[in-house]
Structures are given as structure tokens and as C-alpha cells.
Amino acid sequence: MDLQVVEQVATLGEWISEGGVVVLSGAGLSTDSGIPDYRGPSGSARRSTPMTYQAFTRDPIARRRYWARSHLGWRTIGQARPNEGHQAVARLQEQGALDGIVTQNVDGLHQAAGARDVVELHGNLARITCLACGALTPREELGDRLDAANPAFAGVAVAFNADGDAELAEESLDGFTLVDCLDCGGMLKPDVVYFGETVPPERVARSFELVESARTLLVLGSSLTVMSGRRFVLRAAKHGIRVAIVNRGVTRGEPYASLVIDAPLGIVLPHLASVPTG
């Protein structure tokens, strides 16, 4: 780390030692686990239009295309393991420095690292929900059923997105067979929030509650391009709460931040977790 970053990290360490920190994490925290982000220097912008709730529920061809791609993408997302950044956040929580963790990610890596009571704004790819009866089932169970229904599926991903959606050649999608809910025969969907779908209000309310009671809102690995995450920075700024951002590259939260550190999270966060907290 250069001198400026060292000084910034020291300042952030002092703020964390005071406690009352709420973390807001984004895709940049998971890139060291092999999951690409969308806009950061270690990732790339999405190559295809993201699935919308309307297309998924109304268009059988779009739904089949999504499930073929997501089935393949899960083979990467499901095998991802927490990196040093996730582990550092879990240690900070264990040390009592954090009052809450809100994540925009759907990979479950905060919990896999040992973090507790994580608010998953956009859900979790490891869960499958039935849109008819609401039954929740593990992703592994659905994966086994899709494998059994598609023994000849041999799609090869050319790229992955942070939401587990793989990029496939169109011909690889032909003949992919979907499966329905075992309980009621209803339509199955990953338990995540699609574009065009609303984040459950209780998650938003809980996140605002955490932010408004914080001393510091610590943003990790998010460009804050979409309002889903940026609204919490705006709320913190409105209430005079310090905002610190650790991210590679530019973020839209910079005008509202007291501290912006452009440095690898895998270096900054382990350092912060090694500093004694008060």
C-alpha cells in the first residue's frame, strides 16, 4: 500500500475501533473468490441483458434459457469459498466492531465465512423458491433434478456474471428440460431479486434501521451504481453518519463519503481485522 492508502486505512481503523459500524457489501468483495463483478477492474460489464421477473414468468423460452445458463453458472458460484475479505468482516463482527452486515451479493459467502444475521438484500442463489406455494428447497436438490432431466446437457460457459448467470452459445440451450415444484407443480425460481422485482420491504426497512443507528457506514466492493445500494449511502449522509468506502475504481458514493480508499479489499480488510477494537 502506498503512503496515502496507509494513512487512510489507519483513519478507518480508528473509526472501526469506536464500534457502531454497519457494512454494506457488493460484488467487489467476492472477486477474490472467483466470482466476477460487473464494473470493477477485476470484472467486466455484463455481456447480456439480465433476466427480468416479467420475462422469467411470462416467456417459457426465456425461462428455459435462464435455467440452462444458471444451472451451469451454479457450478462455479456453488463451489466458491470465502476469501480473506469475507473472513475479515466475520472477525470484525466477532470482535464486536460491527452492528450489522447488509449485502447486495447473492453468493452466501459472508455466512460461509462465519458472519451472522446478514441482511441479504437480493436473496441467495443457494435457495430455490416456488412461485406458487412458496416452498423453499436447497439449490443442490434442484441441481440433481436438472442433471437427471438433462443427461446430455454439455453446455460450456464462455463467461460468468456475479449473479451466477453463465454466458452460453445459443445452440447449447436447445432441448434443455425444466423441472417444476415437487410439492405443487408450480414454477421454480432462485430465491433472488430479479430486475423488475421489488426487494422485500422488510429487508429494506431492516437495512435502513441499521444504517440510521450506525456511527459509520462502511461500503465494501460496490460501485453504488444502482439505487438499491446507493440509497443507504444517501440515508447515512442525510443523518450525518460517516461513510467510508473501500473499492477498486470509482463509485457513485464518493460525493457523500468522508473517506474513500481505492485499494484491494483482500489487503485492506485483513489489516483492519488485525487491529484491536475498543
184 labelled binding-site residue: yes
* pTM of the predicted protein model: 0.91
133 labelled binding-site residue: yes
Taking alpha carbons only, the member of 31, 56, 20, 9 closest to residue 188 is 56
- Judge whether residue 167 has pLDDT over 80: no
Question: What would the mean pLDDT of 247-270 be, rounded to a whole number?
Answer: 96
Reported as a pLDDT band with limits 50, 70 and 90, residue 276 is: low
Q: What is the rounded CA–CA span in Å between residue 201 and residue 114?
A: 26
Do the Cβ atoms of 228 and 121 come closer than 8 Å?
yes
> Quick check: is 86 catalytic?
no
**Domain boundaries for CATH 3.40.50.1220 within the chain:** 1-35+82-122+198-278
May I ask the CATH class of domain 1-35+82-122+198-278? Answer: alpha beta
Lowest mean pLDDT among 38-42, 170-174, 187-191, 197-201: 38-42
130 labelled binding-site residue: yes
24 labelled binding-site residue: no
Do the Cβ atoms of 217 and 211 come closer than 8 Å?
yes
Q: Which CATH architecture has domain 46-79+124-192?
A: 2-Layer Sandwich (3.30)
Encode pLDDT of 95-129 as tens digits: 999 999 999 999 999 999 999 999 999 999 999 99
**Domain boundaries for CATH 3.30.1600 within the chain:** 46-79+124-192
Catalytic residue among 86, 122, 239, 271: 122
- Judge whether residue 152 has pLDDT over 60: yes
